[in-house]
Structure 1
Amino acid sequence: MPRETLNRDQIVQAAIELLDAEGVDGLSMRRLGRHLGSAATAMYWHVGSKDKLIALAGDQVWGEVGLPDPDAIGWRDAAAAFAQEWYAMLTRHQWLMPASSSHIIYGTETARRQDHCYRIFETAGFADEELDAAVATLLTFVTGTALEDAAAATTRARIRREGGDEEEGVKEVVAWANGIAMEFPRLRARIEAGAQARITQASTKITFGVGIILDGLQARLGTRAGGTPRP
């Protein structure tokens, strides 16, 4: 595709597709150019650098997270829905977590979601330092939960790039980790009970975890001079 027929949006979307398939290490301007039928120089001309392109791609996928209205459905339901969509986005784009550790990913879409998360907890009644802490608590849980999935996806992408058998490679890693875990009684008990398979389900990790966080935040609101937390 000649440079003059390309635009930044097309390049960013193509980069997201390549990142989804191959991860951050699999993205290069040369590979992206081949994907679009254009020269690598055209990629640089439109987006400047690989780092800038990853930042643009990251901000764009943040735009997939919905903005549930806390005034319409209540702050708890809005926070839970926001967390679910946030986690789902990170699951679809598992390169975003590794990329965020080495790139500054921020833009209009990212800021809009961040601002909306503050709105949700403001509606609940949090303010000042407690507002910051409530937002940070939800952020830490969702991103931490997604990090495990991202690590697995990164491992799979590396095995593919190296020409190995993806499924066999993952089995070897899991067997190695389980071998270590089996030396510890509580971890061994959970593995033998099959809990490891259940706990990796998004519905278990996110719904249960977010519920506990919101229970704690709501209880904190309720301890303020006999105040009644908002729904």
Structure 2
Amino acid sequence: MYRTRVTVEYSGKGDPARSLALLWRTSERASRKGKPELNVDRIVRAAIEVADAEGLQALSMRRVAERLGVGTMSLYTYVPGKPELFDVMLDTVYGETARPEHAPGDWRGALDRIARENWALYLRHPWLLQVAVSRPPLGPNVTAKYDYELRAVDGIGLTDLEMDSVITLITGFVHGAARGAVEAAQAESATGLTDEQWWAAHAPFLSRIADAGRYPVASRVGQSAGEAFNAAYSPEHAFEFGLERVLDGIETLINRRAPTTRSSRPSA
């Protein structure tokens, strides 16, 4: 995995008309004779590959052109600029999440699947964690993803605003959990130490300086966590534990809104 400095990109910075035309492919030019066959999809895929391998800080029109083996200016025949390209990259990767026609029959199972699909998406494309999407690209994949996720909680007694908030809560939780997982993975490549090696190096010193009498709860709990995870932190455990608690909270809301609605959990 690449090493990266902190880089934040913002979606929606491009020209609205050009971005929307590119997202919905309403005016794509054909390849010119005698030139390598290019199209928007091929350019976008190359840009995603650069971001996956090298991080957002490496992404530029020139770098994408190098990956494709073409001149930089040839890209502008198909893509107005980097901001518009970036919006289409986002929309493209959001199209990777599975949206089965026959989703789990209960809202809890459906939200669990949605959370895991988003978790896997962030791990495949960690650069997504460096993107501020308060102004999302309004492309076909983003729209379809949002519609699919909302259907998981449609018709169960929530208002439209609550439905939107539930999906925001789930995806926001996954975003934070995935950030912890990606940072943990990058720590190993940046330091040259696995979690086990880091823990083994620190444990002997901690046993000498830790004052269990002064910090009794921290000492007890920290020791339990360290023995369980063989590290200071487990991203996978944090995700699993947190997801269950988030779903529990949503269940409380649903039961409060519709007292007669039976719990989605099977009876014992």
User: What interval of TM-score do these two structures reach, taking the shorter chain for normalisation?
Assistant: 0.7 to 0.9
Q: TM-score, normalised by structure 1?
A: 0.76
Is structure 2 residue 200 aligned with structure 1 residue 167?
Answer: no
Is structure 2 residue 222 aligned with structure 1 residue 200?
Answer: no
- 8 Å CA contact 2:91–2:140 kept in 1: the answer is yes
Q: Which residue of 1 aligns with 2:261?
A: 228
Alpha-carbon offset, residue 82 of structure 1:
0.9
Q: Which residue among 227, 230, 249 is the counterpart of 1:216?
A: 249
Matches of 2:60 and 2:76 in 1, distance apart? 11
Structure 1 segment 1-231 matched on structure 2, within 5 A: 3=35, 5-68=37-100, 72-100=104-132, 104-151=136-183, 167-169=189-191, 171=193, 192-193=223-224, 194=226, 197=231, 199-202=233-236, 204-224=237-257, 226-229=259-262, 231=264
Higher fraction of helix: 1
- 8 Å CA contact 2:255–2:263 kept in 1: the answer is no
Tell me how many residue pairs correspond in the alignment. 217
Change (3 A) 1:42 1:97: same
User: What code does the residue aligned with 1:227 have?
Assistant: T
Matches of 1:41 and 1:189 in 2, distance apart? 61
- 8 Å CA contact 2:51–2:127 kept in 1: the answer is yes
Matches of 2:135 and 2:257 in 1, distance apart? 40
Matches of 1:118 and 1:102 in 2, distance apart? 18
Q: TM-score, normalised by structure 2?
A: 0.67
Which runs of 5 or more residues in structure 1 are unaligned? 157-165
- 8 Å CA contact 1:16–1:57 kept in 2: the answer is yes
Change (3 A) 1:225 1:88: closer
Change (3 A) 1:14 1:208: same
Change (3 A) 1:188 1:57: farther
Which of the two has higher C-alpha Rg? 2
Q: Which residue of 1 aligns with 2:14?
A: none
Matches of 2:113 and 2:258 in 1, distance apart? 29
Q: Secondary structure at the match of 1:227?
A: coil
Change (3 A) 1:56 1:41: same
Change (3 A) 1:205 1:36: same
User: What code does the residue aligned with 2:189 have?
Assistant: E
State the identity %: 31
Change (3 A) 1:86 1:125: same
